[in-house]
């Protein structure tokens, strides 16, 4: 089973178009040891030729150009993307659906009823797409049952309902429901090994620690280093948890959570905001992660399990 990280950044990407925080500014000046990153998406394949796109980021066209495996060229119009699955209805995870409109058949789209509701009202993407390729809608259960993905017989996935936040255009922004945000458990049927992907996560429960303890790889929310990162830079009035993201540092933070997992599990932070100091490859923050055996995802990262 292969996972290709198409975009490892949170909304805005790195560097962000209008941002002059120390990271974005330092990157442009060439004074930082860091790599640019596109917005949040991964692709999963059992056979290396047909892929499940997990999230459709605003950077999807660039991401496809950078990933030759997504362009197998078996016909005059073709794509390695067999279906799309959404983790939430946030702009950075759904806007790319509009860029896939040139398909000749409806796009197989898997999401929870809550996410389908937000992308057909507050941000009415499915309505717009109905004038182009349309979508073939498949509702995702959040009861832990195994989901078969159309066109991808070798892939077994399960969803996990997570505590985070729906987007600002959701009527439930202040009052999240189960299904607004999910994590994805991917099983390799040949080996039984599993990977867990959760780019938006506000709370790590004991049940989640148990679930992750049974995985070979976890790809988890790496948005913010500190809870007041955006506030201290004067970029936002909101703290990390107000936006549905558990920061890495501090008591109860993601580093402490990941420290509870048994040895041997690959721990990878993903969905990284451009303000996060761990983006700087020779920073103290990055060194601390290395000490804890935690990796930082990058665009083009290939994970096999
Ligand atoms: C988030 O997950 O909080 C987002 O990255 C927000 C956004 O896309 O603007
Ligand atoms: Mn996001
Ligand atoms: Zn920035």
3-state SS assignment for residue 294:
strand
pLDDT at 65: 98
Distance CA 256, CA 249 (A): 8
CB neighbours of residue 254 within 10 Å: 26
Answer yes or no: is the C-beta of 211 below 6 A from any ligand 1 atom.
no
Answer yes or no: is the C-beta of 9 below 6 A from any ligand 1 atom.
no
Atom of ligand 1 nearest to the CA of 243: 3
Q: Which residues of 44-82 are buried (b: 16+ CB within 10 A; e: fewer)?
A: bbbeeebbbbbbbbbbbebbbeebebbeeeeeeeebbbb
pLDDT at 184: 98
pLDDT at 83: 98
Strand ranges, E, within 56-198: 81-85, 107-111, 135-139, 147-149, 152-161, 182-187, 194-198
Distance CA 177, CA 116 (A): 13
Residues whose CB falls within 8 Å of the CB of residue 110, separated by 6 or more in sequence, listed in order: 83, 84, 85, 86, 138, 139, 140, 147, 149
Answer yes or no: is the C-beta of 92 below 6 A from any ligand 1 atom.
yes
pLDDT at 115: 98
Domain total of the chain:
1
> What CATH number is given to the structural domain containing 188?
3.60.15.10
Across 172-188, average pLDDT: 97
Site to probe by mutation for ligand 1, drawn from 59, 167, 221 as the one with most ligand atoms within 8 Å of Cβ, is 167
Atom of ligand 1 nearest to the CA of 91: 8
The protein residue whose alpha carbon is closest to atom 9 in ligand 1 is 11
What phi and psi, each to the nearest 5 degrees, are found at residue 302?
-110, 130
How high does pLDDT run on average in the chain?
97
- What's the 3-state SS for 50-86? CEEEECCCCCHHHHHHCCHHHCCCCCCCCCCEEEEEC
Site to probe by mutation for ligand 1, drawn from 7, 8, 11 as the one with most ligand atoms within 8 Å of Cβ, is 11
pLDDT in tens, 102-152: 999 999 999 999 999 999 999 999 999 999 999 999 999 999 999 999 999
Whole-model pTM over 0.85: yes
Across 259-273, average pLDDT: 98
Residues with CB under 5 A from ligand 3 (ion): 16, 19, 21, 24, 274
Answer yes or no: is the C-beta of 270 below 6 A from any ligand 1 atom.
no
Residue 301 pLDDT class (50, 70, 90 cuts)? very high
The protein residue whose alpha carbon is closest to atom 4 in ligand 1 is 11
Closest CA to 152 of 71, 105, 85: 85
pLDDT in tens, 197-240: 999 999 999 999 999 999 999 999 999 999 999 999 999 999 99
Answer yes or no: is the C-beta of 11 below 6 A from any ligand 1 atom.
yes
List the domain range (segments joined by +) for residue 158.
2-304
Across 9-38, average pLDDT: 98
Tell me the C-alpha to C-alpha distance, in Å, between residue 1 and each of 47, 103, 159, 194, 274: 7, 26, 18, 9, 30
pLDDT at 290: 98
pLDDT at 47: 94
The protein residue whose alpha carbon is closest to atom 7 in ligand 1 is 11
**Is 136 in contact with 194 (CB distance < 8 Å)?**
no
Site to probe by mutation for ligand 1, drawn from 57, 92, 163 as the one with most ligand atoms within 8 Å of Cβ, is 92
CA of 90 to the centre of ligand 1 (A): 6
Share of the chain above pLDDT 90, in %: 99
Across 60-83, average pLDDT: 97
pLDDT at 198: 98
CA of 163 to the centre of ligand 1 (A): 15
Answer yes or no: is the C-beta of 243 below 6 A from any ligand 1 atom.
yes
pLDDT at 253: 98
Residue 160 pLDDT class (50, 70, 90 cuts)? very high
pLDDT at 276: 98
Tell me the C-alpha to C-alpha distance, in Å, between residue 9 and each of 166, 208, 281: 18, 23, 15
Share of the chain above pLDDT 70, in %: 100
Residue 73 pLDDT class (50, 70, 90 cuts)? very high
Residue 71 pLDDT class (50, 70, 90 cuts)? very high
pLDDT in tens, 88-102: 999 999 999 999 999
Angle at the Cα of 249 (from 246 to 250), degrees rounded to 5?
A: 95
Residue 54 pLDDT class (50, 70, 90 cuts)? very high
């Amino acid at each position: 089973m292969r996972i290709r990280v198409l975009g490892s950044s949170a909304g805005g990407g790195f560097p962000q178009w209008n941002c002059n925080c120390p990271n974005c500014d330092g990157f442009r000046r060439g004074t930082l040891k860091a790599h640019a990153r596109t917005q949040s998406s991964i692709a999963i394949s059992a056979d290396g030729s047909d892929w499940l796109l997990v999230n459709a980021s605003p950077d999807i066209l660039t991401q496809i150009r950078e990933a030759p495996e997504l362009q197998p060229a078996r016909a005059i119009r073709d794509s390695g993307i067999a279906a799309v699955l959404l983790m939430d209805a946030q702009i950075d995870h759904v806007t790319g659906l509009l860029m896939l409109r040139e398909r000749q058949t409806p796009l197989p789209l898997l999401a929870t009823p809550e996410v389908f509701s937000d992308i057909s009202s507050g941000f009415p993407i499915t309505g717009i797409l109905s004038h182009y390729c349309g979508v073939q809608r498949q509702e995702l259960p959040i009861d832990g049952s195994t989901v078969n993905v159309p066109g991808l017989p070798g892939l077994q996935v399960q969803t996990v309902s997570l505590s985070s936040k729906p987007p600002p255009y959701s009527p439930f922004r202040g009052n999240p429901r189960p299904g607004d945000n999910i994590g994805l458990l991917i099983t390799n049927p040949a080996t039984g090994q599993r990977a867990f992907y959760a780019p938006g996560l506000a709370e790590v429960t004991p049940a989640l620690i148990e679930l992750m303890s049974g995985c070979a790889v976890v790809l988890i929310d790496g948005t913010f280093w500190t809870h007041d990162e955006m506030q201290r830079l004067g970029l936002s009035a909101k703290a990390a948890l107000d936006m549905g993201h558990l920061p890495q540092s501090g008591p109860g933070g993601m580093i402490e959570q990941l420290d509870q997992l048994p040895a041997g599990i690959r721990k990878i932070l993903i969905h990284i905001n451009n303000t996060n100091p761990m983006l700087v490859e020779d920073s103290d923050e990055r060194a601390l992660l290395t000490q804890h055996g935690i990796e930082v995802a990058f665009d083009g990262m290939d994970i096999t399990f």
